[in-house]
Each structure stands twice: as C-alpha cells, then as structure tokens.
Amino acid sequence: MKIVVLRLGHRLFRDQRMTTHVALTARALGAEGVLLTSSDKSIGKNLDDVAKRWGGEFYVRSGISWKGEVKKWKDAGGKVCHLTMYGINLPDIIDEIKDAEKLMVIVGAEKVPAEVYDLADWNVAIGHQPHSEVTALAIFLDRLQEGVELKRSFKGGLKVIPKRRGKCVKRG
C-alpha cells in the first residue's frame, strides 16, 4: 500500500517540533512522504538529514494546497483517511481501510476545516478522547500494517543493534 501523510496547519514557532514528530513517525512507520500546508522548509531539511544518516526513501513537500492535493489524490484513485477523535473508532473500520491501494492520511494541527470531514473517505478516531496527532498517526499506521512496518529494514549509515541493556549503534 502506498501511504502519504498530509499535515494540515502548522503554526511556525508553536508546532515545529510536533510537525517534525509527525513526519518522523510517518517515515518510521511506512509512509513514503509527508505533505505540509505550511512553508516551513526546516522540517524537510531535518527529515532529509535523518534519511541520509539512517537510510530509506522519504520526502517532505511543504507549502502545498491541501484541497488541491486531496483532489489530485482522489482523482488518481486514492482514498483519504482523516484522523479525528470525532470519527468512527479504528477497530470498527480498519478492515475496510486496509483494502485501499493508495492512502492519504490527514492529521491536523489547528482547527481542521469542516470540508475535510466531507472530503475524507473515512473519518477515524483512535478512541474518543483528546490526544496528540503523533499518537493517532502511530497507532493508525501500526494497526493498518499489522506490525509489518516495524520489521522494515532501512539501508543507511547508522543502524541500531538491539540489546537487552545498554545501546549500540553500528556505523557504515
């Protein structure tokens, strides 16, 4: 399945760290890229650096029109899933979403425009309580891929060698 994450909104100084974490989570858990409605180039730069050091292909495109990207995605046969605490609870809808070949996952930063709820094929909740969009994205991507993404191999200059105690990072 091809997965792209669309991050709606980003207040430059307030949300930079959270948006970076959304992108890191997307990369680590199987998305091929992140689309940002903000024009914050530093997030793309940070993720490029992570991909160079740790491996893997990943892109960040910033300053995009969310409506335009959603329309293009759907016109190309893709499906759209909006993560919101107001949606259908994940366990009740995940099997239907797994049938998608191309999936855009929308996560918000600020108040999400009402139109997003109508344009999405699915409005999905990771429970119906407030929590972070990073949490929602991580749980969603893990359930969607049934843990397979956790076994994915990245070919980069740095690699963690799992240990029961301590830490070990292999270079080269």
Q: CA–CA separation, 70 vs 92, rounded Å?
A: 24
Q: Which residues, other chains included, contact 163 with Cβ-Cβ below 8 Å and sequence gap of 6+?
A: none
pTM over 0.75: yes
Predicted confidence band of residue 39 (pLDDT cuts 50, 70, 90): confident
Mean pLDDT, range 111-134, rounded to an integer: 94
Mean pLDDT, range 139-166, rounded to an integer: 94
Which residue intervals of 84-167 are DSSP H helices? Answer: 94-97, 114-119, 133-145
What percentage of the chain reaches a pLDDT higher than 70? 97
* CA quadruple 30, 31, 32, 38: dihedral, nearest 10: -150
Q: CA–CA separation, 24 vs 22, rounded Å?
A: 6
CATH superfamily of the domain spanning 2-171: SPOUT methyltransferase, trefoil knot domain (3.40.1280.10)
Average pLDDT along the chain: 93
Among 22-31, 37-46, 67-76, 137-146, where is mean pLDDT lowest? 37-46
